Amino acid sequence: MPDTATLSSKYQISIPKAIRETMHWYAGQEFVFIQKGEGVLVIPVPELNQLKGIAKGANPDKYRDRKDRF
């Protein structure tokens, strides 16, 4: 049976320990909620240092700038 949680009267949900440990989530971490049909995706917002090198190897040729937009 999957882990479950109950929405409190303060509209809070405790994330089960097994999920927190598996996903390496920690207290104070920021999350984004994305509605998908009848459900919601909960995705951690990456910290700035986690984005280092994300565009490595990107080709800057044909780069669009704000000047070429309407």
Per-residue model confidence (pLDDT) at position 16: 93
Domain boundaries, the chain: 1-47
First to last CA, the chain: 53
pLDDT level of residue 1 (50, 70, 90 thresholds): low
Please list, in sequence order, all residues whose beta carbon lies within 8 angstroms of the beta carbon of residue 13, skipping any fewer than 6 positions away.
5, 6, 7
Q: Is the pLDDT of residue 69 over 80?
A: no
**CATH 2.10.260 correct for 1-47:** yes
pLDDT 10s digits, 20-63: 999 999 999 999 999 999 999 999 999 888 888 888 888 877 77
Higher pLDDT, 11 or 1: 11
pLDDT level of residue 65 (50, 70, 90 thresholds): confident
* Residue 15 CB neighbours (<10 A): 13
